[in-house]
Amino acid sequence: MIERCPCCNARLKQSITCSRCQADLNNLINCEKSAQYWLSLAIQSLLEHKIEQSSLAINQSLALNTTKAAMVFRHFLIYQQSHAVIDLLTQSQLLSAKKTLYNVRMLIPYSKQLQQLDNFIDYLLVKDA
């Protein structure tokens, strides 16, 4: 919940309008609530082993409001799924590793390391064909 008005920095009470500058904070409050909803959905989806849905939901949450909880959850999801990719590679489950890596890359699409890992999996797939 926002504690200070983004316009004048006044302390906020439980009102949707700033008492000092009269700024309408309704959209900001709704954005925070939506971000919390998407974070909850991301966590629930992970618990249900719906990794792609969890990745989409956490990205949506972060697009609405970058909270510490959402950032920590995204980091955890990246960590967990990166280890899953490595485990799948050690078991020679290349297609499953590629699909899992796709979900990780949705979380950090411009990662050079993940691009290299994707290229490596492609190499292994062609080599085994």
Per residue in 16-58, pLDDT (tens digit) is 888 888 888 888 889 999 999 999 999 999 999 999 999 999 9
CATH number of the domain that residue 100 is part of: 1.25.40
6 located within any domain:
no
14 located within any domain:
no
Q: Flag whether pLDDT at 7 surpasses 90.
A: no
Mean pLDDT of 1-6: 79
21 located within any domain:
no
106 located within any domain:
yes
12 located within any domain:
no
User: What are the contacts of 120-125 at 24+ separation with CB within 8 A?
Assistant: 121/89, 121/94, 121/97, 122/98, 124/89, 124/94, 125/94, 125/95, 125/98
- What's the structural domain count of the chain? 1
7 located within any domain:
no
pTM for this entry: 0.82
Mean pLDDT of 92-116: 92
pLDDT, residue 109, reads 87
- Whole-number Å distance between alpha carbons of 65 and 28: 9
Mean pLDDT of 61-83: 95
Q: Flag whether pLDDT at 93 surpasses 80.
A: yes
Angle among Cα 30, 36, 43 to the nearest 5 degrees reads: 155
Q: Flag whether pLDDT at 14 surpasses 80.
A: no
Q: Flag whether pLDDT at 99 surpasses 90.
A: yes
